[in-house]
Amino acid sequence: MVSQWSRLLFALAFAGATMILERHTPGGDAPPPVPGASFTDKARQYFTAEELARGRAYARGRYLLYGARTALTLGLFGLLALSPLSATIRNASVSVAGGRVWLTIGVFGLLLALLYHLATFPVSLYGGFLREHAFGLSRQTFGAWAWDYTKGALINAVILLPLLMLLYSCIRWDPVRWYLPVWVVVIVVMSLLAELSPILLDPLFHTFRPVQDHGLVQRLRALTDRAGVAVGPILEIDASSKTTKTNAYFTGFGRSRRIVLYDTLITTSTPEEVELIVAHELGHWRRHHIWKGMAISAISSLAALWLIARLLNAAAESGRFGFAHPADPVSLPLLLLLFLLFTILTTPIQMAISRAFEREADLESLRLSENPKAFIASEVTLARSNLSDINPPRVIVWLLYTHPPILERIAMAEAFQIRQGQ
The residue ranges that bind Zn ion (CB under 5 A) are: 358, 361
Q: At what angle do helices 49-82 and 39-46 cross, to 10 degrees?
A: 110
**Min. distance of Cβ 404 from Zn ion in angstroms?**
10
Residue 81 CA to residue 384 CA, distance in Å, equals 44
Q: What are phi and psi of 201, to 5 degrees?
A: -90, -45
- CB-nearer residue toward Zn ion: 132 or 358: 358
Element (H or E) spanning 212, and its range?
none
Using CA atoms in the order 195, 200, 201, 202, what is the torsion angle rounded to 10 degrees? 90
| Nearest distance from C-beta of residue 345 to Zn ion, angstroms | 25
Q: b/e map of 257-296 (b: 16 or more CB within 10 Å)?
A: bbbbbbbbbbebbeeebbbbbbbbbbbbbbeebbeebbeb
Q: Which is nearer to Zn ion, 321 or 357 (CB)?
A: 357
Our CB check for Zn ion shows the closer of 332 and 376 to be: 376
Interatomic CA distance for residues 129 and 137, integer angstroms: 10
CB of 22 to Zn ion, least distance (A): 17
Asked if 315 and 86 touch (Cβ cutoff 8 Å), the reply is: no
Is residue 129 within 8 A of residue 142, CB to CB? The reply is yes
At closest approach, how far in Å is the CB of 36 from Zn ion?
A: 30
Q: How many CB atoms lie within 10 A of CB 27?
A: 20
User: Minimum Å distance from CB 53 to Zn ion?
Assistant: 27
Residue 375 to residue 280: CA distance in whole angstroms: 9
> What is the CB neighbour count within 10 angstroms for residue 15?
12
Nearer to Zn ion, 242 or 289 (CB): 289
Closer residue to Zn ion (CB): 328 or 360: 360
Amino acid at 198: P
Bridge-based pairing state of the strands 234-237 and 258-262: parallel
Q: Are 212 and 236 in contact (CB under 8 A)?
A: yes
Identify which of residues 183 and 375 has a Cβ nearer to Zn ion in the complex. 375
Min dist CB 24 to Zn ion, Å, is: 18
**Shortest Cβ distance from residue 153 to Zn ion (Å)?**
28
Q: Which is nearer to Zn ion, 164 or 361 (CB)?
A: 361
Q: Minimum distance from CB of 244 to Zn ion (Å)?
A: 21
Give the C-alpha separation, 336 to 76, whole Å: 10
Nearest approach in angstroms of CB 295 to Zn ion is 18
CB nearer to Zn ion: pick between 275 and 328: 275
Neighbours of 21 (CB within 10 A): 20
Identify which of residues 60 and 287 has a Cβ nearer to Zn ion in the complex. 287
